[in-house]
């Protein structure tokens, strides 16, 4: 998937509401963050950084959704432990991450883990920013994500 493509719709089990679909956010800008594993140090750093800067995303009229292959129960515990105020979505069946090109077949012996990735999807469902890393410890450039959102204003 590339910038300018329509983002694949999905419905996943979530923290907070029972399920979240990307189509629920039509008319709104969305930051989709794929992350490998809840409670891991780098994922905790990334999502807590988003939590701490959430007002900036809100100021840019964007909602944040974070997706991993962890179970909904693990994600709920992670969200509670780190006070994460945005939905964490469980791609436990590994259906969404591969469609976004954000999927490791094997990460250090773990089969089927989401890559660290970031997408900005506009209110029409079009991908306006795409970043996918093959290095699990590399964090997305939040400045670049915010610039992509600012360009949508």
Of 31, 38, 43, 60, which one is the catalytic site residue?
43
pLDDT tens track for 50-83: 999 999 999 999 999 999 999 999 999 999 999 9
pLDDT for 108 = 80
State both tokens at 99: 């469609």
Nearest to 70 by CA among 49, 57, 84, 58: 84
Res 145 pLDDT > 70? yes
Q: Which residues pair with 126 in a beta bridge?
A: 6
Active site residue 48: no
- 138 pLDDT tier (thresholds 50, 70, 90): very high
Q: Which CATH class name applies to 11-150?
A: alpha beta
Q: How many CA atoms lie within 13 A of 80 on its CB side?
A: 9
pLDDT for 17 = 65
The whole-angstrom separation of Cα 7 and Cα 23 is 10
Nearest to 12 by CA among 77, 72, 83, 74: 72
pLDDT tens track for 19-37: 999 999 999 999 999 999 9
The whole-angstrom separation of Cα 147 and Cα 153 is 10
């Amino acid at each position: 998937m590339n910038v300018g493509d329509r983002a694949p719709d999905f419905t996943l089990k979530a923290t907070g509401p029972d399920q979240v679909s990307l189509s629920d956010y039509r008319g709104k800008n969305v930051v989709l963050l794929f992350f490998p594993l809840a409670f891991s140090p780098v994922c905790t750093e990334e999502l807590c950084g988003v939590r701490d800067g959430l007002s900036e995303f809100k100021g840019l009229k964007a909602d944040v959704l974070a997706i991993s292959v962890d179970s909904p129960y693990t994600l709920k515990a992670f969200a509670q432990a780190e006070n994460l105020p945005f939905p964490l979505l469980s791609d436990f069946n590994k259906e969404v991450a591969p469609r976004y090109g954000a999927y490791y077949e094997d990460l250090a012996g773990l089969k089927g883990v989401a890559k660290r990735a970031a997408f900005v999807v506009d209110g029409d469902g079009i991908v306006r920013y795409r970043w996918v890393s093959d290095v699990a410890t590399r964090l997305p450039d939040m400045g670049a994500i915010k610039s992509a959102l600012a360009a949508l204003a």
